[in-house]
Structure formats: structure tokens, C-alpha cells
Amino acid sequence: MSPANFLRHRLTLWQNAHNNPTLQATLLQRCQNDPVFWINTFCWTFDPRLPQPVLPFQLYPFQEHAVQELVRAIEHSHDMVIEKSRDMGASWLVMLVLQWFWLFHPGSNVHVGSRRAHEVDRGYTDPSATLFGKFRFNLAHLPYWMRPKGFQSNVHSRKLAIENPVLGNWLTGESATGAFSRGGRYRCIVFDEFAFFPDADLAWTAASQATQCRIAVSTPYGEHNQYAKLALGKCGDITKLRLHWRAHPLKTEAWYTAQQARMTRDEVARELDICYQFSVPEAVFQPEFQPAVHCLKQRYTVTAQQPIVRSVDYGRVNACLWAQQQDDKTWVVFQELVLSNSSTHAQGQRIQELSNAWPNARYIDVGDPAGEALDHRSNGTDTEILARYGIFPKCTVSRHLRNRRHAGIELLKLRFHERKAEKPMIQIDPMGCPILVQALQSAYRYRTDATGAILHDAPVIEEHPFEDVVDCLRYLALEMIGDSTDNTVRALPWQQSTVSEGFTPYLGF
């Protein structure tokens, strides 16, 4: 139906039903049975970007399918994850489906949440800005005879709660916490922008006891969060609805090209492409680390010609990486070890056990200079304890650096960029080092300020175990991975100011 015919059809129905109780009853029955008809005939949307911001809702085919899938998930009580490009109408669709249940189906208490309280409900402000704003806006624009009898906005609609006085249904909401929805019972719970929820795993688990239907809606924000785990199938079988911009009939390749020119790489990945790998702007090693370039396609086979380097890190989480230099002077990191809340003794035992897979290998060990400090838990230093297991970490270069973290990060960024005969300077076996790959893709992140701006000079977010495996990689780079031609560290500004005068670092075999 053309837009003009669509509007004429809606207007005619509204006019004919205005003072016709029989037609009203017929239309109400049809709306109760068909949410797509209800939205196309009676619902409205609001777009402040347009000269005429109030618009009748006319569903595109992909949106009709989305409505039907949402209704099916709620009616059949199963969880759903919705991954979306920006500006596909997902939030409007979800809130209209919830309103359809709220209007027409008894026993439909529903609960919604977003990462911040002001994204859930600000009261009567811009209807496009909040979830409750969308709900109230459409409710106010419905015909008077379709709203619940006796409904008064000043009585039945208050912040974070809207009541249907006829059916006893409620729409309630709250901001994201680990105890989100705990204590209530709902037909459906919606998590909006779930990739950005703090304590998302706790909120998802808490909601499992409050409803049989959890709906997670978001654009992606890296692979290391509860939303990504759901969307990427890492939490078992769950219904997934994908709203990609290519499904929108008005979004063309020319439109996409124009958007790319206005947006950063991570914005395109997050807002348009539904790409999890490159959607985090604070990721420390993006865009330098690229899985398609730096990850091996098959398991690495250790060679006998070169030693194996073990890089160790100590602390609440103990970690180790195994790496080997190739004949062409490039490097492969092929095995990782991560032990949470373990002793240095346990770390030494596991490193020894895993190293037994290569019994004839020669080993060179590197690590954190902090390992030479006394560990009161073990009555000795970490390096002394590891020595009992045949592990002798060198920390020659990093001991003389005032800021080992910054120096190691900058060196790794350079090495990920570097090529030797078109081959990456560093490659990683993703089967042997899955946590390291996650860290390099998105989980190892810069801090941000209150406005969301990235603080490049501030410490990175210390999140275990990702910082631990990256620490191992940093020490490997600082101590072992020198220039690709002569195996010495290239003169960098941070080295000129932090390596003591006359000091010659050990960097080769």
C-alpha cells in the first residue's frame, strides 16, 4: 500500500469508528488478535529530526516479522536476543508490542530497563528519548475508546510505572544493576542496550527467576559481555532476531557509504554492521590487532630449531604465554595458561606440566620484575619459587622502564603493524590462546571519563584475566621481540628516556 493510500485508509477507519460503538468493538477485537494490524492502523512514532516529527506507524516487512517474533517469544515464554543496527525502530517495536499486551491481554505485567535511569523514564519529555516516553506517546495518541476505560495519566502514569486500571496490567522499569528485576514477577522483561549493562550477567541471571521471557536488545559492544555471549550462541540455544540495516528498504549502499564517511571505524562496526570484534572504541589494540591477519588458521606446530619463550605474570591471577620465534624472525604465541586465585607454586607446577608437551625444547623465560619482591603468602619471591620448577624469568629491559605498561603497549602496537615479507611480525594461535585473543579484540580497554571520552594516558581497565595475559605479552615484547632485522629494540621515545645510560638490553637468543 502506498503511503498516501495508507494514510487515507487509517483516516477513514478512525473517522468511521469515532461515534460507532459497534465498529469500535469490531476493531478492538481485531487489534487484540493481530498486533501488526493494530500498529499499522492505530500506532504512532516520533522523529524529532523531521519537520513533522509525529508520524503514523507503517511497518516495513522486516518490522512486521520482528513484531510477530516478539509476540511469539512472549506468548510461548522463551528468551530472545535482538541484535540491531542503529535506527531500525527496534526500541519502538519492542515498546509497542509491550503496549499491545498491556492493552489487550490480562496478566501482562512487563518490566523494562536500560543502562541508565534517564534512558528508561524522564517523565513527560522527548518521547523518542526514553522507553517510557515511547509508551506514553503512543498511548496518548490512540483513540479515546481504545485507551483503558477510566485511565487518567495523572493517576495511572507515574515515573517508572504505568497501570492499566481495567486489566490490572503494569509497565514498570528500572536502571541496570546486578539485582535488576529481582523480587518481581513478570510476563516479560526487556533489557535495552544490554551490551552496555553493568553486571549484565548478574542481571540476566536474576531475571531468570522473575520471568520466563527475557528479551535482550542492543547494538554490539565487543565480544566480552553477556549480550555478546547470548547473541553469539555461547549461552545455549536462544532465539535470535537480527535487524541489520540491509533489511531496511530505504537504506542503500550509497547511504551506507555516506554514513561511513561520517563515522569512525568502531562506530560503523557498532551502529551499522553488527560487528562484535571492532565495536569497542576503547579497545587498546584496535585497529592494530586484526584476527583475520594475526590469528593462525590452524594449530601451531613447535619446531626444534628455536627455543620456546615462556612469559610469566604473577598476582591474584597467575598467567603464562608460550611463544617461539620463526626462522624469518617473526613470532608465534601458541599457548596460554591462566590460574585464578592460585599460588605461585601451583603456577610453576602447571607451567612445568604443560611444557612437558615439548620435552626436548630449550626454554627462555621472561617476566615481571615485581616477581623479585618478597611474596609473604609463599615465604619467598615469585622468581625463587618458579626456579624450583625450572623456570627462570628474565626481566632485564622492563626492570629499567618507569612505565612498563605504556612502553609494552606502544611496542606491541608497532609490532602488530609490522610486516616481514608481507607476514605479520606477531601471530597468535587462537585455539591455544583464546583469552589472549579476546583481550586483544575488545576486552583489554582504556578507561573513559564521565563523558565517555577515552583516557589514552590513564591506566587501562584492570579486568582479570585479560590484563594478565596481555601483561605476559607485554613482557614478551619488551624482553624478546626486537627489531625484525637485527633483533635490537628500535629507538623509541619512551626508551630514550627510561633505559638507564650505558645499559644494553638482552633481546636475542
Which pLDDT tens digit goes with each residue over 122-164?
A: 766 567 789 999 999 999 999 999 999 999 988 999 988 999 9
- Please give the CATH number for the structural domain made up of 3-272: 3.40.50.300
Cα separation, 195 vs 227, in Å, equals: 5
CATH 3.30.420.280 location in the chain:
292-498
Cα separation, 368 vs 388, in Å, equals: 18
Say what the pLDDT of residue 124 is. Answer: 63
| Contact by Cβ (8 Å): 272, 86 | yes
pLDDT beyond 50 at 277: yes
How much of the chain is helix, strand and coil, in % rounded to 5?
Answer: 40, 20, 40
Q: What is the CA radius of gyration of the chain?
A: 29
Say what the pLDDT of residue 379 is. Answer: 65
Cα separation, 204 vs 199, in Å, equals: 9
Q: Of 427, 434, 431, which is closest to residue 469 (Cα–Cα)?
A: 434
CATH among 3.30.420.280, 3.20.20.150, 3.40.50.2300, 2.60.40.10 for 292-498? 3.30.420.280
Say what the pLDDT of residue 272 is. Answer: 92
Say what the pLDDT of residue 368 is. Answer: 87
Cα separation, 170 vs 186, in Å, equals: 9
Mean pLDDT of the chain: 86
DSSP string, 173-241: EEE--TTTTTT---SEEEEETGGG-TTHHHHHHHHTTT-S-EEEEE----SSSHHHHHHTTBTB--EEE
pLDDT one-digit tens code per residue, 369-424: 887 765 545 567 888 999 999 999 988 887 777 678 888 899 999 999 888 878 99
**Please, which residues have CB within 8 angstroms of residue 55's CB and are 6 or more apart in sequence?**
44, 45, 46, 47
Cα separation, 209 vs 181, in Å, equals: 9
pLDDT one-digit tens code per residue, 291-333: 889 999 999 999 988 999 999 998 889 999 999 999 888 999 9
CATH 3.40.50.300 location in the chain:
3-272
pLDDT one-digit tens code per residue, 166-178: 999 999 988 877 6
Say what the pLDDT of residue 483 is. Answer: 44
The amino acid occupying position 150 is G
Say what the pLDDT of residue 451 is. Answer: 67
Q: What is the DSSP letter of 276?
A: S
Backbone angles phi, psi at 169, to 5 degrees: -80, 150
pLDDT one-digit tens code per residue, 77-98: 999 999 999 999 999 999 999 9
DSSP string, 330-379: -EEEEEEEEEET--HHHHHHHHHHHHTTSTT--EEEEE-GGGGSEETTTT
The C-alpha cell of 372 is what? 623479585
> Mapping DSSP to helix (H, G, I), strand (E, B) and coil, where does residue 275 land?
coil
